[in-house]
Amino acid sequence: MRIAVTGKQGQVVSALIEVGPKLGVEVFPIGRPELDLLSPKTVLHALANIRPNIIVNAAAYTAVDQAEKEPELAMAVNANGAMAVADAARTLGVPLVHLSTDYVFDGSKSTPYTEEDPVAPANVYGASKLAGEQAVTAAIRDHVIVRTAWVYSPYGKNFVRTMLTLAQNRDEIRVVADQYGCPTYAHDIAVGIVGIGRNLLDRPQSEQLRGIFHLACAGETTWAGFASAIFESSRLLGKRVPKVTPITSAEYPTPAHRPANSRLGCSKLERVHNITLPAWRTSLMACLERLTNEFKLL
């Protein structure tokens, strides 16, 4: 399987590059300047040169707070760019796996969101990603839209790395405790994407395999609970760690509104694609073991 993945440095791109060869998959990352989602005319030519049999659109504008100030840019990348990738995939006759987000929901539901729940983004980023989903759905039949949440990894900018950075010189860290979600390891997402891709290639006529799916690690927590688990695991690795003080969202205002509930129900993915991600605490420990030498926590 040859996967062309948009972007060169994102967390999921990096994870695919790492795990792909272990799964017998060739992964070809492609991004700017060869492929630029702000320049749709570059997309088809760049992807055609790779001759993939699966395309993964992992490139996106992901600066959630900055998007409130740059809505046109967020929409250009996440919606218009997604449309260009979907158009290219249709032209090339190749299935498309498109990454989306839990932020297409407003968080008002009290239980995990399913794929059938109404969407209602509460911020510009979520609205731009929803527009991307709609563009993909309209452009190509042979697609899977994968919504995931709270992504972290050993590389890039993410919550785990932020907490470990803060822990190097703080005795106490205040973290929001009234937002719930599913921390998801980028490596698990990559493995899931490969599994989805294989299913799409093996059963090209199966409509059931296409559409929207939720892909997140099992279990749930709050950001404060996530931080506490990071430091509990760090302690097991022999590190002294700071105290986590839970606070409310009101005590930590941000330009973009975050959903109170970002939990994703993933039973459809298990039922249709036979894919289940590990428990989030298990994957967190695997990530921290890789990071323990980089972050010298006292």
Q: Write out the catalytic residue numbers.
A: 125
> Are residues 191 and 269 in contact, defined by beta-carbon separation less than 8 angstroms?
no
- Ordered DSSP codes for 217-271: -BS-EEHHHHHHHHHHHHHHTT---PEEEEE-GGGS--SSPPPSB--B--HHHHH
Query: Is residue 98 helix, strand or coil?
Result: strand
Question: What gap in Å lies between CA 49 and CA 33, rounded to an integer?
Answer: 14
Beta-bridge partners for 175 = 246
Which of 25, 47, 28, 11 lies closest to 198, judged by CA? 25
Q: Is the peptide bond before 33 cis (omega within 30 degrees of 0)?
A: yes
Measured N-to-C along each axis, helices 223-236 and 280-291 cross at an angle, to the nearest 10 degrees, of 50
Tokens of 176: 């929001």
CB 45: neighbour CB atoms within 10 A?
A: 11
Beta-bridge partners for 172 = 243
DSSP letter assigned to residue 151: E
**Size (the chain), residues:** 298
> Are residues 60 and 99 in contact, defined by beta-carbon separation less than 8 angstroms?
yes
- State the DSSP H helix or E strand holding residue 72, giving kind and residue range, or none if neither: helix 71-75
